[in-house]
Amino acid sequence: MTAILRAAVLLSVIVAAGYFYYIGDGRVSRTTDFRLPIREMRALTAQDGDQLPTTVAVEVVGRDHIPLGLAIAGKGLGHFSMARTAFLVSGPSGRILVDTGMPEDLAAKKQPGTSPVYDAPAQNRVARMMDEADIIVLTHEHWDHMGGLAHSDRLSSLIRKSVLSPSQIAALPALAGKPGPFWNGSSPKALDNSAPTKIAPGVVVMAAPGHTPGSQIIYVRLADGEEVLFIGDITFSIDGIRDVRHRPRLMQNVIMEPPEDRSAVAAQLRSLNTLYLAEPRLRIIPSHDSEHLNRLIRDGFLVDGF
């Protein structure tokens, strides 16, 4: 073998290994230390009866596209439609806003991918609901989930009804671009979510750090017996749970700021897959999966718009 051929083979091996490590490897361990305590969540809401929520609505405040292979490792260059969302859980006991979207100026700086679309009227409806909702809760502390709250000129009043984890509270000043704390004496409620914690009839939150330090899963039991898990960005696509596959390291370690905890997210994916197989009627909702959200709207489960 000539020196040139040996060098070419070596280069090919290095490129292939790099591609697999950073782009193609979506493997998740078959064992996990993370357990999603669905029984405990159900027990906390079992006596809520006629106070249970009745509807779940979604607002899509923006869309953009990324390569499918950045949403799920090894899936190639097809398009994945990223919905930027907020959800509203409503019932006799009040309204709970799950995530707060993103203001237009922040979206213009941050929205990645190709063909980004921003829906200002939809974000206006989310902003109105920040005022009208009884509780504001976040899946995690990223710009497209917390941005509407962090950039609101009414933050000092909204913070009083925002139920946030310590990590989410710590992230507010940087996202708002202000030194913190800056909420004029209106302290947010620091939620200890280390164990399943009920924040309203039918609504339970539990810490799930990994994608971000303040990531959490939000469980909702509805009056008609349906159940929902809002999982934020543990995976962008429901297929990440069905197929038990990670985002690629290129997304996790290079594009995301700060990098996410790959092993923690892997454990959550494995646990969610186990639950998905055992509980086919449980509605698991990743925040960004446009196709999955559209399917839930067509099925009549999600209400399209606030």
How many residues are there in the chain? Answer: 306
Residue 110 pLDDT level (bands cut at 50, 70, 90)? confident
Residue found by looking up tokens 């899946």 in the block: 139
Alpha-helical regions (H) of 46-119: 68-71, 104-110
Long-range pairs for 301-304 at CB < 8 Å and ≥24 separation? 301/56, 301/226, 302/56, 302/57, 302/58, 303/55, 303/56, 303/57, 303/58, 304/57, 304/58
Burial 71-101 (b: 16+ CB within 10 A, else e): bbbbbeeeebbbbbbbbbbbbebebbbbbbb
What are the residue boundaries of the structural domains of the chain, listed by start?
3-304
Residue 183 pLDDT level (bands cut at 50, 70, 90)? low
Whole-number average pLDDT of the chain:
91
**Residue 117 to residue 123: CA distance in whole angstroms:** 12
Q: Is it the case that residue 173 has pLDDT exceeding 80?
A: yes
What is the chain's alpha carbon radius of gyration, rounded to the nearest angstrom?
Answer: 20
Residue found by looking up tokens 């979207």 in the block: 101
β-pair type (135-137, 94-98)? parallel
| pLDDT number for residue 279 | 93
Decide: 232 and 286 in contact? Cβ < 8 Å: yes
Model confidence pLDDT, tens digit, residues 22-60: 777 788 888 777 889 999 999 999 999 999 999 999 999
Decide: 148 and 101 in contact? Cβ < 8 Å: yes
Residue 203 pLDDT level (bands cut at 50, 70, 90)? very high
| pLDDT number for residue 248 | 92
**Residue 116 to residue 126: CA distance in whole angstroms:** 19
| pLDDT number for residue 180 | 63
Helix, strand, coil percentages (3-state) for the chain, rounded to 5, are 40, 25, 35
Give me the CATH topology for the region 3-304.
Answer: Metallo-beta-lactamase; Chain A (3.60.15)
**Residue 63 to residue 81: CA distance in whole angstroms:** 7
Q: What is the mean pLDDT of residues 8-25?
A: 70
| pLDDT number for residue 29 | 80
